[in-house]
Structures are given as structure tokens and as C-alpha cells.
């Protein structure tokens, strides 16, 4: 890769290897993707089973390998955008891939448009004509998404008129969300001092974006577009009343798409502070931002007539149990050990509750660390320049780590959940391997027809993941003991330092 940014022969090979992978994934989608009339019984049981699995695994491996090869950065930002767009083209033309969630969106939108409350009535009871395409586990559960996305889904159902038309509109929403996020990446990366060519490559060329956000049309794309735009407004105009109001509206809309955005709000409040970091400044600027967020949530809840009923749907989202969630994996292993001892402990609810408790504590620690780092910069010379440079790096990095912790400690982990922390860390982290490796692994966790690898590897997957957690925990404790528990970490050292 040349310093001037001209693509080398290696970069060209990477571009076309990734494109070949995308084409193979598209072929797998047409032969055995998430078609409405085909239940998710495993792609190997389809008429073209061996070809479907072969194309899917080869395509995923090629895309992951190509993405990994340039993880230090593409030849230029423009080259990264063009390559990511090229890889997305075959995936735009396939049936939905790797998840049946888009059919749930369609039916929830149809239910609301037909006068039903999707937070009270499941899509089967509402009489959705496309209910057979929805995964059985979600046919009788309330919608877990915010009122903004329910309204968008209803608009898609009415504008589309049929299931294919509705799916087309929902995919257009997802593409619009990805494009909006792509527009925000360079500005956020420059503010945080990260090379834009690296941020664009890591954030957009990942197979998770192409497969799950573009082809899968997950609403995480809409969430991320609004979230990143809100953060960009804050980064460019901290403390300005108009900027705080605009950012608050955008972040409120993001929360009203999916509750995951709530995790970012405390760190957005730190980004909103103008000048020196004091409690008074935080209450002033963070309070204005919070007021705009709450006003937006109240407005969309009232205008839609849906209120906050989606909280009930969030509770039911944990009905699915897969070892890909670390707390769930630990619960499985405890159950296996209990069965060997002649007992049935049913530890999964307990380990999930412990995971959520750990998450709450960890989020508080991350916020306090970010606040402390920013407060420390109050006392340095040229504080205005230092704060302006440090604020985005510290707050965006902390928000990315917070989202990553939320994904890992939540009761359920699906591969598309990883796109949130991936994009935020792509624009803020100084070291990348620690979050690029899990994102690469996540790309292999689903099959084209919507089934998951976890479904067929429950015991070995849970045991391996639990063992890995134990190794990481022991390694972390050993490292702290060797370095001295009382000595603070140097600023900028590792993921925590980056925040």
C-alpha cells in the first residue's frame, strides 16, 4: 500500500476476492436463503443443500479474509467506499439472508397498519397474511422495537402492498441507514484522530454489514444511521443549543427504533459538554441533550399512540437461548455439571441476571473512567486545544466499549448486534485486533436460511466459550497482579485507555 493511497496489486486482489465471496453468498441466498415458503430446517436439507453450504462457507471465508487482509486500512478512503459498495451489489439482489427477522418486521408493520397494537398482540393473533414466513418463536410475542420503527414498518407494509413489496421497502430503509452511517464515519474518525481509510474499511467492508444489514435488512442499520449522525452533530458543535437539540432529536429517534441506543446516551452527554468538564457544565449541556431525547421519545410515543408498550417485548426477546451469549453459555455449562451430579439446576436465568448486573456495574465504571480522563485534562496547559482533540476520542471510544459489553453480556447475542460496537470502535479505537477478531468469528455464526450454527453445537459451543472466558479472566487477573493492582494504567494503553 503506497503512502499516496494508490491501490497496490495486493489491494486489487483483496477487492476481487471479497467480490467473489459476495457473489457466492448471493448464489447461496438464491439456492437456499430465507424464502417465505421454506421453513428454516437447515440448508443441507434443501434440494441444493451441498451447493448452498459450500457457497455459503466459501463466500464467508473469502469476504472475512479480504476484510482481515486490509484491517490496518485501505489504500484510501474513497477506495474503501467503492470496494464496500461493490461487495454490497450482489447482496442487494438476493432474498433475505441469515435471519427471518425481516418477515417479523413486515407482519408487525401490517398489524399496526391494520389497527392492532403490536405491543399487545402477536402477529399470528393479529391475522397477518404473511405469518407463515415469520419464525415460529416470534409469532405470538409482542414487538420489541420502538414506535419509530413500528411506524416505518407500517409505512413499508402500506407502500409495498404485498410481501415482496414490503420487503423491498424494508431493505431500502436498511440501505439508507448504512449510507447515512457511511456519511458520518469520516467526520467521526477525523474528530477522534483515527485514519478515515481505516475507519471506512473496518466499518463498511465487514461481511456483517453486507450480509446482515444490507441483505438481511435488519433495523440495526436504521439505528446506526441515526445514532452516528447524532454523535457527529455533537462532535462538531458541543455545547451549542441548536446542535444539542438536533442531536437530542436524532438520538431520541435512534432509541425509538431500538432500545440498544440507550447505552450510548450517557457518553453522548459527555460529548455534549462545551469547554471545561465540571459538574455544572455536564448538567447544563448534558441536561439539554437529555431533555431533547426525552421530548422526542414522548412525542413519537404520543403521536403513534403506542406509548412504552415495547418494554414488554424486550423482556420476551430473551426467549431464545443460544450459547453465543456468554452468560447463557455459562448457564448451560452449570446445567451440564449439575446433571452429572444428578440435579437439574436451571442456571441460565441466574447467569443471565448476573450478566446484566455485571453489565450495569461495567457501564458505570466506563462512564466514570471517561469522565475522570476528561476532568484531568482541565488542568493541562492549552486545555482548550487538548479537550477539543480528546473529547471525541474518549467519549466515542467509551461508547463503543459500552456497546461491546452490552452485546457480550446481554441474554441473547446475534451476529448483527456486533455491527453497533464495530462501527463505533472503527472510528475511535487505536488498536483493532481485539474487536476485529470477534467480528470475523461472528460472520460464521449463521446459515443462509436463517438457522444458526449455535442450534447444532449447543454443548460443545457452550463449553468452549466458557473455557475461553475462564482463560481470559485468569489472564486479566494475572496481568493486574503482575503490574500491581494499585498502579493506574497509562493513558491510551489498550481498549480501556482508548476510551
Query: Per-residue pLDDT averaged across 437-458, rounded?
Result: 91
Burial class for 247, CB neighbours closer than 10 Å (0-12, 13-18, 19+): buried
CA atoms within 13 A on the CB side of 71: 19
35-50 mean pLDDT: 70
Contact yes or no for 38/110 (Cβ under 8 A): no
Cα–Cα nearest to 419, from 441, 397, 439: 439
Return the pLDDT at 39: 60
Range in 391-395, 401-405, 480-484, 485-489 the model is least confident about: 485-489
In this structure, of 74-88, 346-360, 463-477, the range with the lowest mean pLDDT score is 463-477
pLDDT band at 42 (very low <50, low <70, confident <90, very high): low
What confidence score (pLDDT) does residue 276 get? Answer: 85
pLDDT at residue 181 greater than cutoff 60: yes
- Res. 496: pLDDT tops 50: no
Contact 126, 115 (CB under 8 A): no
Question: Does the structure show a pLDDT above 70 at 23?
Answer: yes
The DSSP string of 416-451 is: GGGHHHHHHHHTT-S--HHHHHHHHHHTTSB-TTS-
* Residue 235 banded pLDDT, cuts 50, 70, 90: very high
Phi, psi (rounded to 5 degrees) for 446? -125, 160
Q: 368, exposed or middle or buried, with CB in 10 Å at 0-12, 13-18, 19+?
A: exposed
b or e along 49-66 (b: 16 or more beta carbons within 10 Å of the residue's beta carbon)?
A: eeebbebbebbbbbbbeb
Q: Which residues of 453-488 are buried (b: 16+ CB within 10 A; e: fewer)?
A: ebeebeeebbbebbeebeeeeeeeeeeeeeeeeeee
Q: List the one residue out of 399, 398, 418, 422 whose CA is nearest residue 410.
A: 418
pLDDT attached to residue 121: 92
Higher per-residue pLDDT: 238 or 401: 401
Task: Decide if pLDDT at 491 tops 60.
Answer: no
Instruction: Please state, in angstroms and as integers, the Cα–Cα distance from residue 384 to each residue in 69, 193, 274, 285, 378, following that order.
Output: 38, 16, 10, 17, 8
Angle between the 163-192 and 101-113 helix axes, to the nearest 10 degrees?
110
Question: What is the per-residue pLDDT for 386?
Answer: 55
Least confident of 174-178, 199-203, 492-496: 492-496
Q: Where are the beta strands (DSSP E) in 54-192?
A: none
Q: Give the pLDDT band (50/70/90) at residue 316.
A: low
The stretch 421-439 carries a mean pLDDT of 95
- Position 472 scores a pLDDT of 87
Of 110, 140, 143, which is closest to residue 125 (Cα–Cα)?
140
Q: What does the pLDDT average to over 81-85?
A: 97
Percent pLDDT > 70 in the chain is 90
pLDDT band at 64 (very low <50, low <70, confident <90, very high): very high
What's the pLDDT band for 420 if we cut at 50, 70, 90? very high
pLDDT in tens, 99-136: 999 999 999 999 999 999 999 999 999 999 999 999 88
Q: Is the pLDDT of residue 492 over 50?
A: no
Amino acid at each position: 500500500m503506497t503512502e499516496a493511497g494508490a491501490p497496490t496489486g495486493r489491494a486489487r486482489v483483496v477487492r476481487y476476492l471479497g467480490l467473489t465471496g459476495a457473489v457466492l453468498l448471493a448464489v447461496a441466498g438464491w439456492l437456499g436463503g430465507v424464502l417465505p415458503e421454506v421453513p428454516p430446517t437447515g440448508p443441507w436439507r434443501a434440494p441444493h443443500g451441498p451447493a448452498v453450504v459450500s457457497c455459503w462457507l466459501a463466500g464467508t471465508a473469502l469476504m472475512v479474509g479480504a476484510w482481515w487482509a486490509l484491517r490496518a486500512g485501505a489504500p484510501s478512503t474513497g477506495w474503501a467506499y467503492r470496494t464496500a459498495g461493490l461487495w454490497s451489489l450482489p447482496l442487494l439482489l438476493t432474498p433475505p439472508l441469515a435471519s427471518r427477522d425481516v418477515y417479523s418486521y413486515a407482519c408487525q408493520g401490517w398489524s399496526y397498519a391494520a389497527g392492532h397494537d403490536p405491543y399487545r398482540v402477536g402477529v399470528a393473533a393479529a391475522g397477518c397474511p404473511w405469518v407463515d414466513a415469520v419464525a415460529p418463536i416470534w409469532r405470538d410475542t409482542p414487538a420489541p422495537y420502538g414506535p419509530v420503527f413500528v411506524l416505518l414498518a407500517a409505512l413499508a407494509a402500506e407502500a409495498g402492498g404485498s410481501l415482496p413489496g414490503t420487503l423491498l421497502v424494508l431493505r431500502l430503509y436498511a440501505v439508507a441507514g448504512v449510507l447515512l452511517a457511511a456519511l458520518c464515519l469520516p467526520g467521526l474518525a477525523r474528530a477522534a484522530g483515527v485514519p478515515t481509510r481505516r475507519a471506512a474499511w473496518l466499518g463498511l467492508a465487514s461481511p456483517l454489514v453486507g450480509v446482515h444489514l444490507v441483505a438481511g435488512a435488519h433495523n440495526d442499520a436504521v439505528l446506526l444511521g441515526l445514532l452516528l449522525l447524532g454523535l457527529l452533530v455533537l462532535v462538531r458543535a458541543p455545547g451549542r443549543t441548536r446542535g444539542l437539540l438536533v442531536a437530542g432529536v436524532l438520538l431520541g429517534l435512534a432509541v425509538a427504533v431500538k432500545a440498544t441506543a440507550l447505552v450510548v446516551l450517557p457518553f453522548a452527554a459527555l460529548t455534549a459538554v462545551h469547554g471545561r468538564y465540571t459538574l455544572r457544565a455536564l448538567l447544563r449541556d448534558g441536561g439539554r441533550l437529555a431533555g431533547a431525547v426525552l421530548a422526542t421519545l414522548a412525542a413519537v410515543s404520543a403521536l403513534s399512540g403506542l406509548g412504552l408498550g415495547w418494554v414488554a417485548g424486550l423482556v420476551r426477546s430473551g426467549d431464545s437461548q443460544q450459547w453465543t451469549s456468554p452468560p447463557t453459555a455459562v448457564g448451560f455449562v452449570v446445567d451440564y455439571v449439575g446433571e452429572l451430579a444428578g440435579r437439574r439446576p436451571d442456571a441460565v436465568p441466574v447467569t443471565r441476571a448476573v450478566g446484566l448486573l455485571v453489565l450495569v456495574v461495567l457501564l458505570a465504571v466506563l462512564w466514570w473512567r471517561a469522565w475522570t480522563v476528561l476532568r484531568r485534562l482541565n488542568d493541562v496547559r492549552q486545555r482548550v486545544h487538548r479537550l477539543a482533540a480528546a473529547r471525541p476520542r474518549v467519549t466515542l471510544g467509551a461508547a463503543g466499549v459500552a456497546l461491546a459489553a452490552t452485546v457480550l453480556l446481554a441474554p441473547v447475542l446475534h451476529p448483527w448486534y456486533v455491527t453497533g460496537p464495530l462501527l463505533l470502535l472503527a472510528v475511535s479505537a487505536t488498536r483493532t485486533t481485539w474487536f476485529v477478531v470477534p467480528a470475523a468469528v461472528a460472520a460464521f455464526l449463521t446459515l443462509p436460511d436463517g438457522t444458526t450454527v449455535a442450534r447444532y453445537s449447543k454443548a460443545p459451543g457452550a463449553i468452549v466459550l466458557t473455557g475461553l472466558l475462564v482463560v481470559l479472566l485468569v489472564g486479566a487477573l494475572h496481568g493486574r497482579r503482575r503490574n500491581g493492582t494499585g498502579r493506574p494504567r497509562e493513558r491510551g494503553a489498550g481498549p480501556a485507555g482508548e476510551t
